[in-house]
């Protein structure tokens, strides 16, 4: 195989960007062969902007059955990601899904199990893993430079959305249409990075405002507290109503603390680890000597194109994936656990009760103002096929 023949399902905002990036040659080794969307307006856009050599389909089945592609990129609403990926695997195709991996882990686990039975390359569009700041931070943690993690705090409130944003689509910010709010729409990258950098906690306690500052069904304000096996703690704060917002990640370890904010990575590095200083110091008041360092960042922040390039290279040459699709369940587990904690007003231990979460989600879907139309080429709102 000298190049990968790609089809895209969903030509909305992200689907269009991916289509243009491939079509305009920004992803070496990739060729856009086909696009699919049930919406005729989207297909008309594709006809006008992608050229006559790109085949147009109005259903996933018809695109799969045409046997013209090697791989598929799924850029549809959240609920459809796992069932469409499963269908693609069953057709022998490589798969790249947009974030999030799905709406509930029970659905995503089924997708992962199907993927594991194939030899196809499965990726997820976690484009923040290409950011050299987070890659450097992961290197500092994994190499032991920060020492054992004690505490992690992430304030990510730079997601301001007006009511008109939510009103722009009837599916937006509804349980039936989107499956969640700020956690599922805006925060999947941060939740993925949180677990990618620090690992998964052992339990979660979350407090949420559902339609607190907007006329919506789902959460627009979240404060979550987590605990890890080693005794470390974490706090995750997010909102779509704060302006100006903040994006500040602070991780404290035995060797100091690291802060990521405003595209800078700063390391307050202890010359003597805190545990050693605490054991040996006899002077009463005192702290270890600390050096404030601006950590140099090198490399390109290639974002979506970087994930696309990596996925194509994994297909053509076996290059390791930056964001394996199977790992999408981890960040989703965090958001599902936060929702379940808020719904039950209690702690949620990990691994969580997936059946209980699904039961609670179904209750929300049944009372949702958005009623999704079941279309040929897609699936019902719960994602079963």
The Cα 10–Cα 42 span in angstroms is: 8
Long-range contacts of 269-272 (CB under 8 A, 24+ apart): 269/145, 269/293
In degrees, rounded to 5, the angle at the alpha carbon of residue 232 between the alpha carbons of residues 227 and 237 is 60
Query: Which residues, given as ranges, of the chain have pLDDT below 70?
Result: 372-385
Put the strands of the sheet holding 122-124 in their side by side order.
55-57, 30-36, 4-9, 71-74, 94-97, 122-124
pLDDT at 133: 98
In degrees, rounded to 5, the angle at the alpha carbon of residue 364 between the alpha carbons of residues 358 and 368 is 140
Long-range contacts of 377-382 (CB under 8 A, 24+ apart): 377/36, 377/38, 377/58, 377/59, 377/60, 377/61, 377/62, 378/38, 378/60, 378/76, 378/80, 378/83, 378/84, 379/79, 379/80, 379/83, 379/84, 381/79, 381/176, 382/79, 382/107
Report helix, strand or coil for 226.
strand
In whole angstroms, how large is the CA radius of gyration of the chain? 22
pLDDT at 156: 98
pLDDT at 239: 98
Domain ranges of the chain: 4-128+303-325, 129-294
pLDDT at 372: 57
Domain 129-294 grouped into CATH 3.30.360.10:
yes
The Cα 4–Cα 191 span in angstroms is: 30
Token couple for 84: 């469409």
Residue 347: CB atoms within 10 A of its CB come to: 14
pLDDT at 1: 80
Q: What is the pTM of this model?
A: 0.94
Mind spelling out the 3-state secondary structure of 124-162?
ECCHHHHCHHHHHHHHHHHCCCCCCEEEEEEEECCCCCC
Place of tokens 């499956």: 179
User: Between β-strands 55-57 and 30-36, what pairing exists: parallel, antiparallel or unpaired?
Assistant: parallel
pLDDT at 384: 32
The Cα 274–Cα 224 span in angstroms is: 27
Query: What's the CATH fold of domain 4-128+303-325?
Result: Rossmann fold (3.40.50)
Please state, for a pLDDT cut of 90, what percent of the chain lies above it: 95
Residues facing 205 on adjacent strands: 225
Question: 4-128+303-325 with 129-294: one CATH topology?
Answer: no
The Cα 91–Cα 78 span in angstroms is: 21
pLDDT at 310: 98
């Amino acid at each position: 195989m000298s190049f990968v023949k790609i089809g895209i399902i969903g030509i909305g905002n992200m689907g269009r960007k991916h289509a243009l990036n491939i079509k305009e040659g920004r992803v070496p080794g990739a060729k856009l062969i086909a696009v699919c969307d049930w919406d005729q307006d989207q297909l008309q856009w594709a006809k006008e902007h992608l050229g006559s050599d790109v085949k147009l389909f109005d259903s996933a089945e018809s695109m799969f059955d045409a046997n013209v592609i090697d791989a598929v990129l799924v850029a549809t609403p959240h609920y459809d990601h796992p069932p469409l990926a499963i269908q693609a695997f069953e057709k022998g195709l490589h798969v790249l899904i947009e974030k999030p991996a799905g709406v509930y882990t029970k659905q995503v686990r089924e997708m992962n199990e199907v993927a594991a039975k194939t030899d196809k390359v499965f990726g997820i569009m976690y484009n923040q893993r290409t950011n050299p700041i987070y890659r450097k931070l992961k290197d500092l943690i994994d190499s032991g430079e920060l020492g054992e993690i004690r505490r992690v705090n992430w304030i990510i409130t730079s997601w301001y959305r007006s009511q008109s944003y939510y009103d722009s689509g009837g599916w937006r910010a509804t349980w039936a249409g989107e499956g969640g709010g700020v956690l599922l729409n805006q925060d999947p990258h941060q939740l993925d990075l949180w677990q990618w950098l620090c690992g998964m906690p052992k339990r979660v306690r979350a407090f949420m405002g559902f339609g607190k500052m907007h006329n919506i069904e789902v959460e627009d304000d979240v404060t979550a507290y987590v605990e890890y096996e080693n005794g470390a703690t974490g706090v995750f704060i997010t909102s779509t109503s704060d302006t100006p917002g903040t994006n500040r990640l602070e991780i404290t370890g035995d060797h100091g603390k690291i802060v990521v904010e405003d595209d800078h990575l700063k390391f307050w590095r202890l010359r003597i680890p805190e545990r050693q200083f605490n054991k040996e110091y006899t002077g009463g008041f005192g702290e270890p000597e600390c050096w404030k360092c601006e950590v140099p960042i090198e490399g390109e922040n290639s974002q979506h194109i970087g994930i696309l390039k990596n996925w194509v290279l994994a297909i053509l040459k076996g290059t390791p994936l930056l964001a394996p699709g199977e790992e999408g369940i981890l960040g989703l587990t965090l958001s599902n656990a936060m929702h379940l904690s808020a719904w039950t007003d209690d702690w949620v231990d990990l691994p969580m009760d997936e059946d209980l979460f699904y039961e609670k989600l179904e209750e929300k879907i049944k009372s949702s103002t958005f009623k999704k139309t079941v279309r040929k080429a897609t699936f019902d709102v719960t994602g079963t096929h």
